[in-house]
Every structure is written in C-alpha cells, then in structure tokens.
Structure 1
Amino acid sequence: MKVVVAPDSFKGTFTAQQAAMAMAEGIAQARHGTDIALKPMADGGEGSLDVVLSGTAAQRVSMATVDSYGREITAEYGWDNGTAWIELAQASGLHFLPEFLHHPEQRNQWAMRASTWGTGQQWRHALARGAHTIFFMIGGSGTTDGGFGLLSALGALYRFQKEVVPGTDARQLALPVQIEEVETVRQLLAPIKIVVATDVTNPLWGPRGAAAVYGPQKGLSPAGVRQRDEELRRFGEALVRAAKTADASVMEEEGMGAAGGAAFPLRVLGREVRLARGADLMVTATGLAEEIAQADIVFTGEGATDAQTLSGKVPMAVLNLCRQYQKPCIVVSGHLGEGAEQLKTLGNVWLEQATPRGATAQDIQQHGYQWIAEAAARALLLATSGA
C-alpha cells in the first residue's frame, strides 16, 4: 500500500512537516510496511518557503535585510536555476510585530510604520542573481503599505518638496509624494515572469480594501484604517500617473489588496504578472498530482477544518486531486468545525478530529503530536476495514 501524506500546517502548533511526520507515525503503527510519501503543503503564507524547499529542487539562499520596522535580520528565499521563490513573511511578516504592544495606539503606530522594503531587498538580490521567474508568496503579511517599500527597494524615488523620502517607513505615505524613476523599475521587471500566490480578492482601497479588511489584524486602529485607506488611494493614483500605461481601475482589481497591497506596484509595472491560488501553486510546484496518481490512499489536514476549507485551502486542493484520480482521502484536523461535513459530499472522504473535546492550548502543545498520530491510525483502520 502506498500512502501520500499532504497536510497544511496546524497553525500555532505544528508546521506542515511536523504534522505530516505525526500522521506518518500513526499510519506506520496501524499498518506495518506501508510505503509513505511525505508531501507537506502550504497555501502561499508563512511556511510556504519550507514546503518549496522540501518538495522541489530549489536551494535555500540566505541574505541580510531588514524586517518591517527596519531592524536588521537574515531572511531566506528559494533559488532553482533562475527561478526564485520569495515568501513575503520572511522579511515583512506579521510575526515581527512586538508582542509587548498591548495599548491599541502603540500597535497602531507600529502598524503604520510597517514597510515591505526588506522584502524588496530580497527581490533585488534575486534579480541580481539573474532571476527570470519569481513566485511571490504573500500570505502572513504584517504590512499595509501598498508595496510602497518594495517599490522603493526596486529603485523608485519618492520626492516631497524636492526632498527624497525613504521607503523604509510607511508613515511617509502620509506625504503627497511624487514618484520618480518608474521607468527604471519597469525595465528591471520587464524580462521577469511574476506569479503572485494569494487567495485574497480584495481591491487596494475602499470598504473591501487592504486597510479596511485586514488592517485591524495587523494593528491599525479605526482611525489608522481610515488614514491608511486614504493614503493607499493617493499612492495608487500617484503610481498610475507616473506609470502612464495604466489607469486608476487597476486599484480596483481583485487581489490588489492582498498582503496590504504588496503586489500592486508589480501589477502596474510588471510585463507578465498573474495571480494564483496559493494552495494550487504549491500543489503544482511540489508535483503532488503525480504522487497522488500513484497512491492507494491520501491523507491531508489542517488546524481547523470548516466551511472555509471549501474556498481553496490546502485540504480542498488535495481533495480535488483525489477526486480527479479517484483516490480515497482522509482529512485529519485538529478541530472539525461547522461545514466540515460538506467535504464528504465529494465522495470517498473520511474526516477525523485529532484534538479531544475540552483540550486546552497547553494540552495541545504537550500531546497534539501524539493525538495527530493516533487520529491518523484510527482513520486508516476505518477507511481500509473493508479492504
């Protein structure tokens, strides 16, 4: 029997790799001699780079840059013969927001500062190496700067009253800057094929925009949301004017508000830019379809499975492949929530909850790995009881 194990991370507790290993232990205990292929997955957010590095020929590239607030860090990206895999969370992730910021106004001030400039430095590094294709995985963002920092790092200049304004601090978006050297950036990006991994369909600004919908979880106060939304509108219009080849409607396109608008300048100035579902991109990159085609049964899972899973999360991408190749699939998740049962309508699907009712966060940290292994074993025995 060949089993493919392809879970997402159990966010906050286990990486996708750890979850896959736990499931594999349970499978091996339940059925000795099973051929198990580990294919940890991701959805384009934090942890996606590790999935790429474990599932492709890409090599890890480390470099010095800064985080969202200008603090020096070492960040990584993947490199495979001219193809770069850049995970925005490496340099501009939400996890860089200090945990000690308990006062809402403190959090707002930090959130207003957060810039994608450090991620832009990764782009420059990859381009200097000769990148011809860049996969930009933008989940887990801690910024809402409309790509202000990234564009600056790529070579654009911001000028306010004859003075050059740095792109390292997004509070500079409050200034009505003039954007220069746009053609320099356009020429830099012209030869590059860009694929942006995101499941977000929000526009750059407005009631459904980057600031209004995602700003609060990144620390913006209600006043900060209103201010940043207006700044994004003004910045977007300024870039469109400077580019001369686009109109303001590009700000309303689906996905321009993803990761606080980080991909917006790429869309305006890049020659070949497309958006792709993060989970689907990971499936393609890691060759999961080929593995599933040869499998007898497939495991997937995530921290919590519910109705949102059907909207394109990792388990749904795996289930779609299982349906395509007519393979049974077991979904082992930390928690099965409302709507999870809908997955069974796809046919040949088993659901198994790993976490016992009433378990605390501390319990999960202590026993979660074993619970995942036990759930995988239970589910495998149930699914194959008639085999």
Structure 2
Amino acid sequence: MTIDKNALGFGFGQRAIYAADPWTTRGRLFPETSSPTRSDFQRDRDRIVHTTAFRRLKHKTQVFIGPDGDHYRTRLTHTIEVAQIARALARAFKIDEDLAEGVALVHDFGHTPFGHTGEDALDEMLKPYGGFDHNAQSLRIVTKLERRYAEFDGLNLTWETLEGLVKHNGPLLTKSGEGVRGPVPLPILEYCAGHDLELSSFASLEAQAAAVADDIAYNTHDIDDGLRSGYLSFEMLEDVPFLAGLMAEVRDRYPGLEDDRFTHEMMRRQITRMVEDVISVAQDRLKAVKPLCAQDIRDAGQTIVTFSPEMAETDRQIKKLLFSRIYRHPDIMRIRAGAAQIVCDLFHAYMADPELMQSHYWVKHIAGLETPAKARHVGDYLAGMTDTYAVNTHRRLFDQTPDLR
C-alpha cells in the first residue's frame, strides 16, 4: 500500500477538479436564493443537523438496546463517528467536506426503532404495499416528512446531497433499467419520477467517502461495544488475522496495558489502517480514471473510494465474526424477537385504528385512504419512533410487552 502524501489535501484553499462544486450545484427542487455566508452544501448539512429526525437518532438502537448501558453506540453516536471519518477522507482527497459530512449525517435517518430488527419487521408488514427500506425512508424524511419550512415539505436539499443519500452505496439501476441489487424501493422511484437522481450512475466522490466511512465506523465500534458487553473477547478476535496483528502490535509496545486502554489502542489502529487503505486505493483509481470534473466520477463505471481486495477480505472476516458472536447470539436473538413483536403489534393496531397515532400530523386524513396509502403512513409513523417511545407506546396499548433486557 502506498500513499502519495503530496497529493493529500491537508492545506487550506485547495480543491480537486473532480470535487463537487458547492457554488455550481444542480440546485434544489424548490429554487431558493443562495446564502452570502454559507455554501449550499453547508446549508444542507446545517438543515440536517437541526431536524427532529437527527435528534431521534440518540434513542435508536445501533446494536444494543438503549437500557443495556449508557456507553454503547446509538444511531446518533454512530452517525457522528461516520461523519468524522467521512470528513477526514474528504479533506485527504481535496473534495467538499461539507457534502461528505452531510451525506454521512443523513444516511441513517430512515432507520426504525430497534435497528435492523425493526427494519426487517416493518418490511415484512409492508411487503404487500411495496416493502420498507431504510434508505428510501431517509429520502422520504428529507423530501416529505420533515415539516419545518413554510414553502415546502422536507428540507429541500441540493440535488447532490439527495443523490449521495440515495446512491452512496452505488448505482441502483443498470444502464438498461434493471435493479442492481433487486427492485428499487418504490419511494425512491416515485421521487425520481419528478426529480431525477440518475439512479444508473455512481454518486459523487464525497458520497462514496461517506459510504466507506460507514463500514469503517461500525466495523470498529461494534467490536468495541462487543468487548464491553462481554459477547466478544480478545481471544475471539484472534480469528481475524488483521485484528490479531493489531493486538500483537499493541502488546509489544505496551506490555501489561489494562483492557480499556488496550481496546482503544487497537481500535484507533484499526481505523487508521482502514482509512489509509482507502486513500491508497482511491489515489490509484483516480490516476487511472483521470477525472476532469465531478461528472467523470459518476461516469467512471466503478467505485473509486473503496477498500483494497485485501482489506475487503478483512472487512468480510470482521462482519462474519460480528454476526456469529454478537448479531446472532441467543441473547440478542431473544431481544430481537421481542423487538419485532413490538413493531408488528403496533403496525396491526394502527392499521385497525389510525386514530391511535395521536401525534401523527396526517392522522385526520388517514381513515379515508386506500389500504396501501394508509399502510405507508403507518410505516412512516412507526419508522420515526425511538426505541423508548415504541416500548412505552406498546405498554400503553397492550397488556403485555416483551422484555428487551
């Protein structure tokens, strides 16, 4: 792995020619006058931070349900860590840091309570009506469900931020219009029918930086939380050669170091090695592609900001370890079953009596809707719940509520 340090953008006033330009964006769905003090991407980031959806992330599960402990990651702390890594990568590539940070900050807006368990349960409930996808839900939140501005629903983000939100993991359609990873979620197709986000092209380099930052962050902090919880041990980490090497390095340099400091020294090295790997790969691919503008990145036909084959294998090994030791642990599976029951019970209750959604601003219109439209509104309401709100609501509506401890 080699890195051209002279090409890194750690100075000020530098911008690569392939960076997204905040002063010549493709604009917003509803035209607005530009700010004299902030770029359009800065304004997007600021709007994202000030939403109710952003604040709700502090009470949404990452892996461990909130009552498990105050020091485990939530969706909010995960999001902040992703944003930090994304911004660091953007600075290294001399691209727009505000756009990369904005995509990172908004990427998990659509997550349900109880993490992927809640998403799976809600997807099952909504299967007859187009299913549920957290990325599509994030788009609904920032284009429709946030109600803050007098002149439009949503946040009226720039085209580039919306593109990054929808396509940060790569194109959704082939050039011939087929789904790359299966059918494109209906809310995304419906939105793009009126505001084309060009689903068959790659996203900006800034969005790609946010995507790989997500992988780096949760691969690292899920190990940290796993060690804290006791589901993981240092001995288990030896099964992944990359992690075994990091631990050996820390032991050699700091013999007898206590566990908390040992974990942090290992984690910081993990993040550094992964970030450096991504920078090296991206520099090589940029030299090969020779982009002259941001559109050349979209048309490159490949992801530029990504892991090397060796680090991608490490990524796969870490995910395998996390799935076997944490995500599929019997204790976690028991909690997941209870969380799924809460989501399904609430869905059925709200479909039977929409008036129960007392704080939902569309509740007075829902009763007269056709079933698919009503189900989508119920999905919106459920997806917006925090873990604590979902549990407390279930306790209010039902005689027995699953214990999630």
TM over 0.5: no
TM-score w.r.t. the length of structure 2 is: 0.28
Decide which structure has greater helix share. Answer: 2
Decide which structure has greater strand share. Answer: 1
